[in-house]
Amino acid sequence: MTPRLVYAALALLATTLAHAADDYPNRTIRLVVPFSAGGPDTTARILAQRLTTQLGQSVVVDNRPGANGLIGSEAVARAIPDGYTLMLTSSSFVINPSMYAKMPYDSNRDFIKVAQVAAGEGLLFVVNPALPATTVKEFIALAKTPGQRVSFGSPGIGGNLHIAGELFNQQAGVNMVHIPYKGAGQAVTAVMAGELQAMFVTSPLALPQIKAGKLRPLAFTGLARASYLPDVPTIKEAGLPDFEIDAGWHGVFAPTGTPPAVVDRLRTEITAALANPEMRAAIEATGLAPSRLAPADFSRTVDADITKYAELLRLAGVKPE
C-alpha cells in the first residue's frame, strides 16, 4: 500500500469513528476483565448491569485472564478504538510496567484512563482455618518453626497481593514461599483446600469465605479496622507497625484513539452510575468504596502509582522478568 493510500485509510477511519460517536452506543459494549472471577470481575459486573440500564444497550463482561492481566490488557490495546471494547482492571495495570522487561503494550501510550470505579480500604491477611495460628504473632512463630514450610499465593508475580506477601516476609523475618496463580480466586481456593497456608486478598473475594468459615482473617492492612470485620486487628496492631501497602483500585480504560465524544459519554455515564444508591451499596457490600475521583484525578493517580509501585517492588526485592 502506498503512503498516500495509508493516509487516506487513516483519515477514513478517523472520520468513521467520529461519526460513530454521534449515536454511541448503538450496539453491545464489551467490558474486558483481564482476570478470572472475583475481584475486578465483581466490580465489572456491578458496573455493567448499571450501565446497561442507563445506556439502553447491553454491556457484557468478557473475562480474559492470564499473565497478571497482560493477556486481556493487550487484547484491549489492540482493539478497534470505537468505544465498544473497554477494560475494567485493577492496580496491577500500574505494577506490570515495573514487573516485565518486555511489555506487549505501553500503559501510557496505548490506553485512555476513563474513570476509577472503586478503591480498596485495605487488604485482608487470611489463613486456612485448620492452621494452628489465630493471630499474626502465632503465624510468624509457626513460620519460623524449623522444618515448617509456609506458602502464600497471589494472582501473579508483582501484583499488590504478591508485594504484600514479600513485605510481610521482610518485616516479619519469615520466608513464606510465593506460589502464583492465574487469578486471585484460584489462590483463595488453594488456601481453603490447604494447598497454601496464607495470602493477602481483597475483601470482595475473602468476605464470603470468611462468613462461611472457610478462611480465617488474621489482620487488615487499612489504617483503621474494617467496619465489616471490627474484631480483626489492623496489621499494625497485630505487630507489624511499619507495614504499608495500597489496597488497590478498579478502573475503566479504553484503547487510545477512542473518540473524545465517546470517552466523555462514558465518563458521564460512569459518574452517574456511581451516584446511584443501589450501585454504591452493591460496591460497598463487596468491601470496596465507590470512587469519588474525578476522571482527571484518576489519570494523575495512575501515573503516580506507576512510579510508586516501581519503588515498592524495589523495596520488596522483586526484579523485572
For residue 193, give the CATH number of its domain: 3.40.190.10
Residue 310, SS3 per DSSP: helix
pTM for the whole structure: 0.74
Asked if pLDDT for residue 176 goes beyond 70, the answer is yes
Each residue of 240-262: pLDDT tens digit? 999 988 788 999 999 999 999 99
Degrees to nearest 5, angle at CA 208 with 205 and 209: 85
Q: Both 209 and 130 in a single domain? A: yes
Q: What is the pLDDT of residue 19?
A: 53
Residue 166 shares a structural domain with residue 65: no
- The reported pLDDT for the residue numbered 233 is 98
Do 22 and 87 sit in the same domain of this protein?
A: yes
pLDDT band at 160 (very low <50, low <70, confident <90, very high): confident
Q: Classify residue 130 as exposed, middle or buried by CB count within 10 Å of its CB (0-12, 13-18, 19+).
A: exposed
| pLDDT value at residue 126 | 98
Domain boundary among 220, 255, 285: 220
Q: Is the pLDDT of residue 7 over 70?
A: no
28 in a domain, yes or no? yes
pLDDT of residue 20: 54
Closest by Cα among 266, 39, 221 to 122? 221
Residue 99 in any domain: the answer is: yes
The pLDDT of 130-151, averaged and rounded, is: 96
Greatest mean pLDDT among 159-168, 188-197, 292-301: 188-197
Same domain, 12 and 110: yes
Q: What is the predicted pLDDT for the residue at 16?
A: 54
Domain co-membership, 74 together with 112: yes
Q: With respect to residue 56, please indicate whether it lies within any of the assigned structural domains.
A: yes
Per-residue pLDDT, 1: 52
pLDDT at 105 over 70: yes
Specify whether 255 is located in the same domain as 302: yes
pLDDT at 10: 46
* Res. 315: pLDDT tops 80: no
Tell me the average pLDDT across 66-81.
95
Structural domain contains residue 225: no
Q: Supply the CATH number for residue 109's domain.
A: 3.40.190.150
The domain boundary, picked from 220, 237, 268, lies at 220
Q: What pLDDT score was predicted for residue 286?
A: 84
- 262-304 pLDDT, tens digit per residue, is 999 999 999 999 999 999 999 988 878 999 999 889 999 999 8
Given 175, 204, 220, the domain boundary residue is 220
**pLDDT the model gives residue 2:** 55
Residue 169 lies in a domain: yes
Question: Same domain for 8 and 113?
Answer: yes
Look up cell 515495573; give the residue.
Answer: 98
Same domain, 307 and 256: yes
Domain membership flag for residue 228: no
Domain count, the chain: 2
pLDDT surpassing 70 at residue 5: no
Q: Report yes or no on 229 lying in a domain.
A: no
Listed range (81-95, 105-119, 135-149, 158-172) with the worst mean pLDDT = 158-172
319 band by pLDDT with thresholds 50, 70 and 90? confident
pLDDT (0 to 100) of residue 312: 79
Q: Is the pLDDT of residue 6 over 50?
A: no
202 & 63 share domain: no
* Distance from C-alpha of 78 to C-alpha of 152, rounded to nearest angstrom: 34
Q: Are 112 and 142 found together in one domain? A: no
Task: List C-alpha distances in Å: 94 to 42, 97, 261, 287.
Answer: 20, 6, 26, 22
158 & 192 share domain: yes
**230 falls within a domain:** no
**Mean pLDDT computed over 9-38:** 75
Mean pLDDT of the chain: 90
Give dist(CA 313, CA 169) in Å, integer: 13
Q: Render pLDDT for 194-221 as a digit per residue (tens, 0 to 9).
A: 999 999 998 878 999 999 999 999 999 9
In this structure, the answer to whether residues 115 and 132 fall within a common structural domain is no
Residue-number span of the structural domain to which 60 is assigned: 3-120+247-315
- What residues form DSSP beta bridges with 89? 251
